[in-house]
Amino acid sequence: MNTSDCLFCKVLERKIPAKVEYEDDKLLAFYDINPQAPVHLLLVPKKHIEKISDLEENHIALTGSLIYKAARIAEKNHWTDYRLVFNNGAQAGQSVFHIHLHLLSGRKMRWPPG
């Protein structure tokens, strides 16, 4: 998919509004429009990568920083228990093809996820 057709690239360019929790030079963290828990954030790299399965070795630091920043955001907000999720592929629940880390918190989580 071209980045100009990508929903999350549009959010990153502020062409689509979002409630932003955190931003730095590498990523944007904003609240999911259809939350699946009392807290539901999406951490989105500024670089357009369609799927986790497309990751290359030079993306290791970037993807690590998504997880690290999720932990720091949770700590700052006193969210002690939370779930971090990447969906890879439509069958696994991916609907936006620009990688993103879900941070879910504020309720008891079930296992296994559906």
**At closest approach, how far in Å is the CB of 50 from ligand 5GP?**
11
Q: Label residues 82-114 b or e (16+ Cβ within 10 Å = b).
A: bebebbeeeeeebeebbbbbbbbbeeeeeeeee
96 binds, among ligand 5GP, Zn ion, none (CB under 5 to 8 A by kind): ligand 5GP
- 40 assigned to active site: no
93 binds, among ligand 5GP, Zn ion, none (CB under 5 to 8 A by kind): ligand 5GP
What's the full length of the chain, in residues? 114
Angle at 68 between CA 80 and CA 41, to 5 degrees: 60
Report the interface residues with ligand 5GP, using CB under 6 A: 7, 16, 18, 30-34, 42, 87, 93-96
**At closest approach, how far in Å is the CB of 48 from Zn ion?**
4
Report the interface residues with Zn ion, using CB under 5 A: 3, 6, 8-9, 48, 98
113 binds, among ligand 5GP, Zn ion, none (CB under 5 to 8 A by kind): none
Residues 6+ apart with CB under 8 A from 15: none
Q: From the centroid of its chain, how far is CA 66?
A: 8
Closer to ligand 5GP by Cβ: residue 30 or 82: 30
